[in-house]
Amino acid sequence: MNAGPQAPIVVEAESFSGQREDDVRQWHVIPAPDGAPAVADADQRKQAAEGASNGSYIRLLPDTRRTHGDKLIRGENFSPEAGKMAIISYSVHIETPGRYYVWVRAFSTGSEDNGIHVGIDGEWPEHGQRMQWCQGKNTWRWQCAQRTEKQHCGVPMEIYLDIETPGKKMIEFSMREDGFTMDQFLLTTDKNFRPE
């Protein structure tokens, strides 16, 4: 028996199985797959694709709140509540129940495209809410941190899902800020694990 930490479960963001509540904001694959129309404002982030795993990523569009000066409209370009808008789903097989820390590799250009929520099987627990990025603008950056009243840049390792039974699970992300850009996510039971 290997009692040590297991290897993380790594998932490409563009390999989602579906999305819903996506009439106002929708996740787009960039670059657009063969035959699909190109995404209107993909150009400004063209550079991002070069550093993306599998040469591809997803972005939540349209992005109407790009700077702090742009009007914040709840239910349109901002969703403080998890599980309400632009829910994207990934089927993941969990062998070993436990506490899984969720890391996401994201590309943020400013202060209004750097937040997201994570949930599981239609549930949106407190510790999946308000994943936050501050450092590393205009680069791909792994993060596992929760925005709080006191720490707007996020408290590290406070984003996790407690999984009680083995089997097939739906890991889901929902919008907090439009324009969010995501390459991969990973799940690990090892609190000390740090992605590259």
58 burial via Cβ count (<10 Å: 0-12, 13-18, 19+): buried
- Candidate segments 1-9, 57-65, 87-95, 121-129, binder of Ca ion by CB under 5 A: 57-65
Q: Interface mask (CB under 5 A) for Ca ion, residues 167-186, using x and -?
A: ----------xxx---x---
53 touching Ca ion, by CB under 5 A: yes
Nearest distance, CB of residue 34 and Ca ion, angstroms:
17
Nearest distance, CB of residue 164 and Ca ion, angstroms:
29
Of 112, 132, 159, 175, the one binding Ca ion (CB under 5 A) is: 112
Which of these, 186, 194, 121, lies nearest to 160 by C-alpha position? Answer: 186
Number of residues that bind Ca ion (CB under 5 A): 14
Contact between residue 58 and residue 179 where contact means Cβ atoms under 8 Å apart: no
DSSP string for residues in 81-128: STTSS-EEEEEEEESS-EEEEEEEEEE-SSSSS-EEEEEETTB--GGG
Binding residues for Ca ion (CB under 5 A): 12, 52-54, 56-57, 63, 65, 112-113, 177-179, 183
